[in-house]
Chains A and B, each alone.
Chain A
Amino acid sequence: MTNMLLQYLTVLLLAIFVGIEVISKVPSILHTPLMSGSNAIHGVILVGSMIVLGHADGSLQVVLGTLAVFLATLNVVGGFTVTDRMLGMFKTKPADRKKDEEVAS
């Protein structure tokens, strides 16, 4: 056991509590954006993939690292785009609705 490991465990524990605290306040109406938003956040593995590829030694490691960067990029850009698109739909829109009614009548 090193001090570093202990420090990481501390971070882990605190993050668990922050996570639970923050998430329990999300209303069920936003559960789908929550899923895709947290999906985008775990795309941060892109940084891990870059580090691994950047320090790769030998062709096998380079191939695996490049593949990791590719997959992680898909995860990040896809996750954020979808979440943004979804959240853009949650609007009060009184103005839009009036317009719709005018068209309908």
Chain B
Amino acid sequence: MSRGTILELVYLFAALTFILALKGLSNPKRARSGNFIAMVGMAAAVIATFFQPNLHHVLPMVIAMVVGAVIGIPTSRFVKMTAMPQLVAIFNGVGGGAAALVSITEFIRINPEKPATYVVLEVLLGVLIGTVSFSGSAIAYLKLQEIMTGRPITYPGQQVINALLGIGAIALIVIALVTSSTTVMWIMLAVAFIIGIAVVLPIGGADVPVLISLLNSLTGLAVAASGFTLDNNMLIIAGTLVGASGLLLTQMMCKAMGRSLPNILFSAFGGGGATGGAASGDQRPVKSASPEDIGVMLAYASRVAIIPGYGLAVAQAQHTIRELADELEAKGIDVFYAIHPVAGRMPGHMNVLLAEANVPYEKLLEMDEANPQLSQCDVALVVGANDTVNPAAREPGSPISGMPIINADDAGQVVFLKRSMRPGFAGIENELLYNEKTTLVFGDAKETLTKMVAAVAAS
């Protein structure tokens, strides 16, 4: 067997491990070993690549890898779980950047040889998609890290400018195909960089989960494009897997928000305040109670649903809510968590945050599982969530109309832990707050929950 064949076989093995890793994720018990298998596959592929014939510049290669590992491993070991979306955005951005660089370098190398048109097209697509993913992820990171405002950033003529940029990029690709000019490639690179920024700027904080999974998918496609250029099946398979999974996930997120992808990308909605209908100025009475009262109420319930939102994570109250659940379970009360698909800052984020607080995953119910059970609950405890339980979503005419919600209002009593009467991300008044079975507890979620734990323990 020639060296080339062995290399190909190792790459095939790696591609297989990636598929197995994704397959492992269908079950929380097997997921971790699946990830480990993919690590082995990746390591094998990287080591095998060192045995490529005529491989030069091994020294800078090894140095770059060591530096990357020395920076990457500690960063990802010690980052807080609440900061996970930012980190995923960075890793996604650098992946996109690497894919773009691969395509750029390849373009410079093969261009003098006057390659076939389709080869140039593959390379240019790699440059375009990779760069958009890189700059888009950078802006998403700045938004998530709150270095930049999470509100949508809009300016006059934004959509026209974005459309022109898109048309410009396509035109530049055509020109580059005809002329195979390196200069045109550099201009296209600049345009792609601006497109990434321009598309992400108007997207509001609440829509970032959708955005991150879309950018993830883009990086996958950029990798697949470089697979075509480099004649490497493994890159095509891995890139396409990620591209397809990202698109599917994006679609699921859109469905969970009851909105279409173009609507999310182009409507500058979801930053709070701006689009609210009859939001402020509403002075209707609400019923509020002390944490101790609610603690007693919970202690005499038989079934309690906890509905967490990102506010829970902001208050760092994941552990306290688990203590409350433990305290209730010790009294023989049945407790479960109802998780909305877009709770948190990225798809499934809330599950990870609660898992970190040692909540067993059997207790985390998806929305579709949880909703039929809510009518059998005595209390629905809504912590730091708002839009995901807003009954306005069931009526037409609201910006969140059609968004599936958790039916908190089916429970016997509804308790909201809130900092203030301020509406959620979507900036829409929540009728449920004024419902006669609703009680509000104002204050920091963590302090409130700590008091509730004490009250439950005492009663």
Chain A residues proximal to chain B, CB less than 8 Å: 1-2, 4-5, 8, 11-12, 15-16, 18-20, 22-57, 60-62, 64-94, 96-97, 100-101, 104-105
Residue of B nearest to A77 (CB): B72
Looking at the assembled complex, report how far the CB atom of A12 sits from the nearest CB atom of chain B, in whole angstroms. 5
How many Å from the CB of B236 to the closest CB on chain A? 5
B290 within 8 A of A: no
Q: Does B323 contact A (CB under 8 A)?
A: yes
CB of A45 within 8 A of CB of B98, answer yes
The total of chain B residues at the interface (CB under 8 A) is 116
Contact indicator A54/B91 (Cβ below 8 Å) = no
Residues of A within 8 A of B326 (CB): 97, 100-101, 104
Q: Which of A35, A87, A92 contacts B88 (CB 8 A)?
A: A35
Give bound CA distance, A96 to B289, whole Å: 34
Interface residue? B136 (CB, 8 A) = no
Which of A25, A47, A51, A71 has most chain B Cβ within 10 Å?
Answer: A47
B228 touches A29 (CB 8 A): no
Interface centre among A26, A78, A81, A83 (most CB of B within 10 A): A78
Contacts of B248 in A (CB 8 A): 19-20, 23-24
Complex interface: chain A residues within 8 A of B98 (CB)? 45-46, 48-49, 68-69, 71-72, 75
Write the chain A residue with the least CB distance to B348.
A31
Q: What per-residue 1/0 map shows which CB atoms of B330-371 lie under 8 Å from chain A?
A: 100000000101001011110110011010111010100000
Give CA–CA (A30, B116) in the complex, Å. 43
Asked if residues A40 and B38 are in contact (CB atoms below 8 Å), the reply is yes
- What are 23 inter-chain pairs, A to B, with CB distance below 8 A? A19-B22, A19-B244, A23-B245, A25-B26, A27-B26, A31-B249, A31-B346, A32-B344, A32-B346, A32-B352, A33-B352, A39-B92, A41-B21, A43-B95, A44-B234, A44-B239, A46-B42, A47-B45, A51-B232, A56-B57, A62-B60, A66-B60, A70-B68
Partner of B238, one of A23, A28, A44, A77: A44
Chain B residue, CB-CB nearest to A80: B39
Contact indicator A77/B76 (Cβ below 8 Å) = yes
Smallest beta-carbon distance B86→chain A, Å: 11
Contact A11-B233, Cβ < 8 Å, known A42-B219, A85-B76, A93-B358: yes
* A91 vs B354: C-alpha distance when bound (angstroms): 11
- CB A80 to nearest CB in B, in angstroms, measures 5
Contact A90 B355 (CB under 8 A): yes
Interface residues of chain B, those whose CB is within 8 Å of chain A, are 11, 14, 18-19, 21-23, 25-26, 28, 31-32, 34-36, 38-39, 42, 45-46, 49-50, 52, 54-58, 60-61, 63-65, 67-69, 71-73, 75-77, 79, 81, 84, 87-88, 90-92, 94-95, 97-99, 101-102, 104-106, 108-109, 116, 118, 212-213, 216, 219-220, 222-224, 226-228, 230-246, 248-249, 252, 323, 326-327, 330, 339, 341, 344, 346-349, 351-352, 355-356, 358, 360-362, 364, 366
Contact B216 A44 (CB under 8 A): no
A-B contact count (CB 8 A): 385
Q: CA of A77 to CA of B235 in the docked complex: distance in angstroms?
A: 17
How distant is B103 from chain A, measured CB to nearest CB, in Å?
A: 9
CB-based contact A27/B366 at 8 Å: yes
A15-B244, A35-B346 in contact; A69/B35 too (CB < 8 A)? no
Chain A residues with CB under 8 A of B35: 33, 37, 40, 80, 83-84, 87
Please judge, given known A-B contacts A71-B101, A96-B358, whether A90 and B73 are in contact too, CB under 8 Å: no
By a CB distance below 8 angstroms, the chain B residues around A47 are: 11, 45-46, 49, 232, 234-235
Given contacts A39-B88, A50-B46, A86-B352, whether A55 and B360 have CB atoms under 8 Å apart is: no
* Cβ A35 vs Cβ B32 within 8 A: no
Q: How far is the CB of A22 from chain B (nearest CB, A)?
A: 5
Given A23-B249, A46-B46, A69-B106 contact (CB < 8 Å): no
Chain A, residue nearest B453 (CB): A104
Chain A residue nearest to B39 (CB atoms) is A80
The answer to whether A77 touches B68, judged by C-beta atoms less than 8 angstroms apart, is yes
The smallest beta-carbon distance between B454 and chain A, in angstroms, is 12
- Write the nearest CB–CB distance from B110 to chain A, whole angstroms: 10
- Known pairs A12-B236, A100-B358; A32 contacts B347 (CB<8 A): yes
